[in-house]
Every structure is written in C-alpha cells, then in structure tokens.
Amino acid sequence: MESEATGEKKLSNKLKKGSYIVPVAGAAALLTLAASLAITAFNHRRNSKRKDLSGCNFRVNLPTSEILKLADRIIAKSKEVHDAVASVPLDKVTYKNVILPLAELEAQQFPLVQSCVVPKFVSTSDKVRKASVEAEKKIDAHVSSCSKREDVYRVVKAFAAKGEWMGPEARHYVQCLIRDFERNGLDLTATKREEVQRLRAQIDELSFQYVHNLNYDATYLLFSENELAGLPTEFLKTLEEVENGMLKVTLKSNHVAAVLELCKIGKTRRLVAMTCGKRCAKTNLSVLEELVQVRHRFARLLGYSNYADYALSFRMAKTSSKVLEFLEDISSSLSDLAHKELAVLKELKKQEEGELPFGVEDLLYYVKKVEQQEFDLDFGALKQYFPVNLVLSGIFKIHQDLFGLRFEEIANADVWHSDVRVFSVFDLSSGEILGYFYLDMYTREGKYGQTCVVALQNGSLAFSGARQIPVALLISQLQKDIGSTPSLLRFSEVVSLFHEFGHVAQYMCNRASFSRFSGVRVDPDFVEIPAHVLEHWCYESFSLKLISGFHQDITKPIKEEICKSLKRWRYSFSALKLKQEVLYCLFDQIIHLADNVDIVELFKHLHPKVMLGLPMLEGINPASCFPRCAIGYEASCYSRIWSEVFAADIFTTKFRDDLLNQNVGMQFRTKVLAQGGAKDPVEILSDFLGREPSIRTFIDNKIECSLRQ
C-alpha cells in the first residue's frame, strides 16, 4: 500500500447519482473525445444483474463468516504446498517441484488474500471490517511462519546451488525467495537466529514507543489575539479559549503550519517553532539512540556493514554511499539558487521587521508572503475549473493518447458501495484486455483515510501459459457535498489523482511473469517514478486545459495566465524547500551508518551546512520528532527526492516538448511500465533514456524554471 499526503485536503460537492464521466474535456473544441473515449454510461438504478469480472479472482462483498473461512482455506492450502516443497529430497530438486509451486501459490492466493484483507479498508459494515482485520492477523501470522521455515529454505537453497538454467526473471525470483529467508536469519546458527528475532521485536517496540510519544504529546502554547496577528479570524475561532482570552495553540500540524505561514509576529513564530522542535526531546532522543544501536546490531548479525546498507540492498540506490553522494550533489547543486531565494526573503524581512536576523522560523512566513504577492492564485476559485468528471476524462484521454490504453466503465459490476466504479483497461490497438480497476473516490465513515492504490490481483504468467490480469483499487479522499453542482477538485487533489493514475497505469501495463514483480510495491525507489512523471502533466498549459473547464460551462478551460502561474508556483523557492528536505534525509541516512552517531550533534552540524549558514533554533532537536526515521522510512527518507529527480529527468528529456507523443509514450509503456520489478531499475531507465539516468536534468530544469520567475 502506499499513501499520500497530498490527497488529504477536502473538496466539496456531489456527483449526481447515475451520472457518468462526461467524455468532453474543457477544451472541448480541441478534442473530439466523445468518440475515442469509449466510456460507457452506467446507471445505478438499472442494476438488474450483478456482473462478475471475468479473469478476476478478487471477491467482492464476502460476508463475515466467508471471510474467516476463506482465510482458513488459504492457510491450509499454503501449508500443503509448503509441506510438499519441503519434502522434496535435496538431490531431486527442480524448478518444477520447488520454485514453480511457490510462485503459482503466491499468484493464485494473492487475490484471495486481498478478498479477506481489503474489506477492512473499504467495507461499509463494521462487522465485516472487524472480521477482515481478524483474517489478516491470521494470514499474516501464517505468512510470517512460512518465511521462517528452515525445511523450505534448505530445499530452495539446494535448488539454487544446483545452477539449473533459468531466465533472468526466474533467477531474480529465486534470489528474492532466498533473501526473504535470510533476512529472517535462516542462514545463521540457531542462537544467532534467535538474536535476530529478539532484536527485531525490540526494534518494533522502540519505534512504536517513539511514535506513540509523539502522538500523545499534548504540549500547547497560549497566546493573546495580538500575538497571533495575521492569522485569519476563521482560524482563530477554531482555537480553544482559556481564561482571560488566551488562545490555545497545539503542536498539531495544522496549528503549527498556520502560525508559521501566517503569523506576523516574529516572536510567536519563533516560540512555536522552538516548542515544536523540542517535542519529546526528553523521551525520544534516547529512544532513537537506542533504536539506531539495535538496528545496527541487527544489520551486522545479518551480514551487512550497517543498517543503511541492509535497508538499501534491494533498492535502486543500492548503497548508502550512493545515497549520500546523491543527496550532497543535489544540495550543493542547488546552493546558488537557494542563496538567491534566501536573499529575497531576507530583504522582505528587513522591510517588514527591520534589522532582526533571519531564522528558519521565518522561512514559511516570507515564502507565503512572496507567493501571495507574486502569484494571483486563488486555489478556492481554481476549484471551479476542476469538476471531477472532467478531470477524470482528461486523465483517461492523456493515458489513452500516450500509452495506447482504452478505459471502459463496467455497468452493474459488484461493488461495496454505490459510489464505487469499475473500469476495464484495454490495449487500444489490439483490443486485448489488460486489467480492471475499482475507483473508490469519496470519503465516508469507516473508510480508510489515505489516498493510495491497492493491488487486488497481480498480473502473472502461469507455467501453462495462461495470463492472470492485474486488478487494482484506487482509494481517494474526495469530499462529496450535498449540493447540485458537480464535485469540484482542489488543485492538490488533481495532482494527487494524476499521481495515483500513474500507479494504476503502471500496474495495468505490467507484463512481468511473476506475481511478485508485477505489483505496485516493487522496488520503492523505482515504483514511485512513473507516478511522479505523470504529475508533470498537471503543470503544463496544454494538458491543464485538457482536464479543466468552468463547472457551469465546461468549454471554458482555465486561463493561460493561471496555467503559467501554477508552473511558477511549483518552482517558487523550491531550492530552499528541497534543501530543507535534504537535511532530514541526510540525517536519516547518516544515523544508520554506525551504532554510535551523536544524533544531537549531527543535526547541529548538518543544519548550517545544508541550510546556507542558517543555524538551528536554539535548544531544539529535530531528531526527537522526526517519525519517518523511526518507522517506515528508516534509512530511506531520500527515496521521495530520488523518485522526483529521476521522474523529472524522464519528463524533461522525453515528454516536455511533445506532451502527447504516442511514440515516446509507447516506448515508456513497453520499456518502463511493462518491466515492473523483474529487471534492474537503472537498466530499465537507461534503456528508455538511451543513457544512464542523471540528476543534471532535474537541477538544470529547476534553475531554468526558477529564473523564469
């Protein structure tokens, strides 16, 4: 699963029941979409017979008892196959009796597992969601026990040692099987293996504690209304008032962001930034120190020189030295630009507050100020140009023209809520079905709260030659309003939808043979790249006009000036913003290189170095409140920047000058999207680009776009 911060903002308005994608984009005159975009209307009221999706083994709407029974059947079957593999004599191992049964088991069981697990995200019934959680626990426990089976490991190892000829994808698959076993210490002595398990449990406990401390931190500050000057009245009204009119500002991100962006009083900003940077300093610094030490020991036991190398060994970046070089290169290449950006902000502060020194607490405030002065971007008004159906049909149109795909809505498919829509994806030229996806767009009670794409069935090619097609689910968090106008999207939601559709396209176009390599969760450094590539279409006038139209007259797309502003806005102060992110990524990488890094000193040292001499705020320690390095992104925080950089390389080199070039699009589809996790990502990208991927294009593009401001 994959989640996005961008999709969380709300939008309003309602999609009328029974409505369908209007197959006309804003620049209606530009396009004759209606004919080419075969999106069938469907009508909820006419739902006579529910249709099954042929070739889809994901089961919708299983009742509670069925979910639990299915989980038991999955486990029993899996156990049977594992036992059979384990019983193969070591001198009789072949691809057919060891690897094939495991690969086909995975491919067949995955959609069934998802039939049990996915209801917990989307079901409208509390009971079903609970059963789903319970089923998941059972299945997880079983999967975890399988990955610790020494008997199976030994057979797989014996097979690998035999050196039977295999294609590169199969070889890679065998390596992955072995890696998973060995990450559980199966190649170690029993005592060391126990130690691995013990350390892993300790890591889980400590990272949980770190995040728990942050979540339960209840620190707040009190300010008078004067001290909060600059904040909008509607915001002040939401603050709790304590005695003598003082207002309570918590350290929740929406409070902190509002103060840092809008509060005119430098002292208030500083106090909020400092208090925020001291959160959990007493507790979490020691938790993180211990966590890093335990991780280091864990990685050493498994034969890696440090935890970073353990975390990176199966990622595109591969080694920590490569990551450090990458981050330092980005940071130093952007220094000149960032200096220029900072000079603008410093000048503005001088005008507004006199000779006071500029500090990090001033960054957001003055950035916001310049942006308000320079760009006439009213995001509230911009929404009027993004009715959901228009945006969707624009997205489909772009995917169709670029990648040779055709989307068709399936009427009367079985779904878990009447808002959910289902689409088939076809290859435009051959008419071959490539896959299906469910679109569950609107927030509702009990539904999972993130925007993401969930794999329901992975594409794969069985030994018999039968292809299983991929089935995906796109969950987003759009707000359905009770009103008569169509649902309107905020710009951030438009970008987020584009991003997620990038994942869907990648998933649909994947031609890997092994289910394991056809997911949307393969190498995380690689898998985000196509989605980031697609985001670029949201900032180009040509495509923006394609996906927009004033909601009361969709033939009127957004104006050229606004398109230009959006692009400039994207690059405004982007060097400074990126450097700030690089700072945290460097910290995350360096602490995972050894067991004795002084995490307090490290931040103090890195801060002025990366942030152009700006010192860290006195007495704070960001290390105590940086949950990404504690859980989920440890030693891999860099990955977001990584994807963005190589996506920019691809977009700028191949697509920027011809946004709907199907030739290039088809090459991207076959050389990149189709490959999935079956091949080395650097090889994949080099094949497409005709050279190794490089950070230069990203940097040059950033400098060029910023100078145009």
Ligand X SMILES: *[C@@H]1O[C@H](CO)[C@@H](O)[C@H](O)[C@H]1NC(C)=O
Q: Which residues are catalytic?
A: 500
The only residue of 180, 182, 187, 290 in contact with ligand X, by rule CB under 6 A? 290
Q: Does 132 help bind ligand X (rule: CB under 6 A)? A: no
Q: Output the residue with the shortest Cβ distance to Zn ion.
A: 531
- Using the contact rule CB under 6 A, the part of the chain among 27-35, 187-195, 286-294, 330-338 near ligand X is 286-294
Nearer to ligand X, 516 or 669 (CB): 516
- Nearest residue (CB) to ligand X, 290 versus 371: 290
Q: Tell me the residue type at 552.
A: Q
Q: Would you call 704 exposed, middle or buried from its count of C-beta atoms within 10 A (0-12, 13-18, 19+)?
A: exposed
DSSP characters for 419-467? T-EEEEEEETTT--EEEEEEEEEE--TTS--SBEEEEEE--EE-TTSPE
Structure tokens at 436: 């299906």
Question: ∠ CA(523), CA(526), CA(527), 5° rounding?
Answer: 80
Considering only the stretches 44-52, 227-235, 280-288, 361-369, report the one whose residues sit in contact with ligand X under the rule CB under 6 A: 280-288
Among 283, 313, 412, 694, binds ligand X (CB under 6 A): 283
Among Zn ion, ligand X, none, residue 521 binds (CB under 5-8 Å by kind): ligand X
Q: Which does 287 bind (CB under 5 to 8 A by kind): ligand X, Zn ion, none?
A: ligand X
Buried b (16+ CB within 10 A) or exposed e, 64-80: bebbbebbeebbeebee
Shortest spacing between CB 71 and ligand X, in angstroms: 16
Within residues 94-113, the interface with ligand X by CB under 6 A covers 106-107, 110
515: partner contacted, choices ligand X, Zn ion, none (Cβ within 5-8 A by kind): ligand X
The residues of the shown chain that bind Zn ion, judged by CB under 5 A, are 2, 528, 531
Phi, psi of 485 (to 5 degrees): -75, 160
Using CB atoms within 10 Å of the CB of residue 240, give its burial: 0 to 12 exposed, 13 to 18 middle, 19+ buried: exposed
What does the per-residue mask of binding to ligand X show for 511-550, with x meaning CB under 6 A? Answer: ----xx--xxx-----------------------------
Structure tokens at 365: 């405030």
> How many residues at the interface with ligand X, by CB under 6 A?
16
Give min distance, CB of 15 to ligand X, in A: 28
Which run of H or E residues covers position 216? none
Instruction: Pick one of Zn ion, ligand X, none as the site partner of residue 531 (Cβ within 5 to 8 A by kind).
Output: Zn ion
Query: Closest distance between ligand X and the C-beta of residue 455, in Å?
Result: 4
Is residue 286 a contact residue for ligand X (CB under 6 A)?
yes
- Does 180 help bind ligand X (rule: CB under 6 A)? no
Least gap, CB of 103 to ligand X (angstroms): 9
x/- letters, 438..457, toward ligand X (CB under 6 A): -----------------x--
- Binding of ligand X by 287 (CB under 6 A): yes
Query: Of 495, 520, 438, nearest to 472 (Cα)?
Result: 438
* Footprint (CB under 6 A) of ligand X, residues 203-232: 209, 213
In whole angstroms, the minimum distance from the beta carbon of 630 to ligand X comes to: 12
Asked if residue 698 binds ligand X (CB under 6 A), the reply is no
> Whole-number minimum distance, CB 513 to ligand X, in Å?
12
Structure tokens at 181: 């076993």
- The correct pick among 78, 451, 458, 697 for binding ligand X (CB under 6 A) is 458
Return d(Cα 346, Cα 204) in angstroms, integer. Answer: 44
Give the residue from 530, 480, 479, 478 showing the smallest Cα distance to 504: 530
Chosen from ligand X, Zn ion, none, partner binding at 595 (C-beta under 5 to 8 Å by type)? none
Q: How many CB atoms lie within 10 A of CB 101?
A: 17
| Shortest CB 118 distance to ligand X, Å | 12
**C-alpha distance from residue 583 to each of 89, 214, 306, 390, 638 (Å):** 53, 21, 21, 39, 10
The one of ligand X, Zn ion, none whose footprint includes residue 106, by CB under 5 to 8 A per kind, is ligand X
Task: For residues 603 and 584, give the distance between their C-alpha atoms in angstroms, rounded to a whole number.
Answer: 9
Query: By C-alpha distance, which of 154, 147, 159, 156 is closest to 197?
Result: 147
* Helix-strand-coil split of the chain, %, nearest 5: 60, 10, 35
Q: Based on CB atoms, which residue is closest to ligand X, 209 or 485?
A: 209
In the complex with ligand X, the residue whose CB is nearer, 460 or 477, is 460
Cβ-based nearer residue to ligand X, 458 or 565: 458
- Give min distance, CB of 6 to ligand X, in A: 20
d(CA 676, CA 171): 15
Q: How far apart are CA 279 and CA 282, in angstroms?
A: 8
Binding partner selected for residue 533 from ligand X, Zn ion, none, CB under the kind-specific 5 to 8 Å limit: none
Residue whose C-alpha is closest to residue 96's, from 170, 151, 168, 180: 170
Q: Identity (one letter) of the amino acid at 191?
A: T
Q: Which is nearer to ligand X, 202 or 283 (CB)?
A: 283
Binding site for ligand X (CB under 6 A): 106-107, 110, 209, 213, 283, 286-287, 290, 455, 458, 515-516, 519-521
